[in-house]
Structure 1
Amino acid sequence: MLSSRHNKNIFLLFLIFFLIVVSLISLSYGQINIPLKNTLATVLYHLGMWDGDNAFTKEQDAVIWFIRMPRVLIGIMVGAGLGISGAVMQGLFNNPLVDPGITGVSAGAAAGAVLAIALGWSAENILVMPMFALGGSISAVFLTVFLAMRRGKIPVMTLLLAGVVVGMLLGAVTAGILTVMNEQKLQSYLFWIIGGLDYRRWEHVYIAVPPILTGILIMLAAARHLNVLAMGETEARAVGMAVLPFRMGIMLTAAAVTAVSVCVSGNIGFVGLIIPHMMRILLGPDHRLLLPASALAGAVFLVGCDLLGRVIIPPAEIRVGIMTALIGAPYFLYLLRRMQRNF
């Protein structure tokens, strides 16, 4: 663990710098490689900070700004959203094995997406399936909370069990719809459920950025309250904290951010599970540092995985959902083994 507050702040600055570097490399490399200086000139030109005279070609501009830039921005926002949501959920439940999908968000998104495909509406507009996925996610969260609430309280274990039940129920609904879909629609669903950033457009950026960014800011503002809650509900109530409203509000915020992330990228696992745990090992339990670090590290991890998936076996591309699983699953198994040794 990093010892001093100064070293921890330097680590946060390093994450910001590393995110910029990884993003620029991701913009430059793929099936068409573009020199980094041309990539930087293109970005600065579109930001109004460079005249762009003879610094890049029209083809390079089209590839960077209209194909790769939306992909990288979605990767940054989804990675940051999943990372910070995982840190919040682990803090709320005081359990390092909790991830943002524990409330049935991912299962709800899958059910909504497969319904949009089965009805044939997803082919009419690229925004239909993300909106159905978002609606399914939010519905799953409210159903989970409704099942778990008793006399105005939500026991942690009851919420976890309700999330599992809702996930299984929606999984059965999804499987039932899949059995009556034709092969073309089935392939469309499988392409989405694996999770990926390919074929993202600026329309997806406009959908994802405002709600995810708003949710991230809300969770960052709640960092001090999470520190108080970590001392125990009795201590939190003693200092005048409204525990249930805060727990509900911050949990729904994390669930909403996860829902928006899933709806624009598909089901990408392990980001909200392993990244917060790694940041907690490095920085400690203080959420004032843990939350921004988890957001930045999640963004770096997802953009980096997407980059690796594009360059590791060219011209083929490994989708980012597969890459995160290949990297995250071994760490998760290591975490399980270490926890078993502690008991």
Structure 2
Amino acid sequence: MSIDRRRFLQQLSSATAGLAGVSLLGANALAAQPPKKLFFKISLAQWSLHKSLFKKEIDTLDFPRLAREVYQIDAVEYVNQFIKDKATDQQFLRQLLSRSQDHGVVNNMIMIDEESDLGDPDKKKRLKAVEVHRHWADAARFLGCSMIRVNAFGAGSRQEAKEAVVDGLGLLGEYCHQIGLQLVTENHGGLSSDAEWMADVLRQIDKPYVGSLPDFTNWCLRREGPGFWGGKCLEEYDPYRGMATLMPFAAGVSAKAFEFDARGNCLDIDYTKMLKIVKDAGYTGYIGIEYEGESLPEKEGILKTKALLQRVGASLS
């Protein structure tokens, strides 16, 4: 072999080794990169564990610890159905606050269901409903929550219900504002799932401290059975149009999930499309995980929903 050829091969070997080193360094550098910061924060809605809670396998005092230790989530949303008699129980509220503080968990909100209608057509009953909800507002304030979620339920014609809901929500909103809370209402069945109707309610109230909590699902306007939840849905508001309509008023967002495919995508809703609507609205607050599926255990369903939010959120960040 000639000296020139030997020198050429030596130089080629050195160059190849150098490129391999650069490639390895690049791969290591890529692996060491921190995950993308999401444009939103993640919280855990207590309803995701409703089966375990109703079966008394866990209770509300366990919730902050489970959120932190099992799901690595540092913000929670309580549901009053699991603490129905605790709105004015100071001993319980002190315990719950202590548990959340011990585990470094933010108490973000209380979701209020099965109370009197804030849109009751009877003025006296409507005022009574506002009074009942004030107790939950006080409890939320004690726990350090930033908001409460209520339902915009009423009766009568479309216009009559709107006028009553504007009055009830407005009165409760004033009280919440006085004690430093945001009041939000969710698309939760009936007229409240008609985004145009709900948006008009919020426009008429026209207060920054009264807003919406758009849920990815819950857009059924009419069902076969009685009430908002009984039977097959016969008429549904378009979920993506509904989200886009309510996001300008949003102080919170609920990420509902039921079933997943083999790749971890939600079968019920397009998370990429939904999160793009959320991002385009300029929203940067909490998105609450609300898993309600039947085929997976609660733990697995919650973790899959969290992973999906993180994956899609990172792709949009």
TM-score (norm 1): 0.23
Bigger RCO (CA 8 Å, 6+ sep): 1
Q: Relative to total residues, which structure has the larger strand share, 1 or 2?
A: 2
Q: Relative to total residues, which structure has the larger helix share, 1 or 2?
A: 1
When Rg is computed on C-alpha atoms for both structures, the one with the higher figure is 2
TM-score (norm 2): 0.25
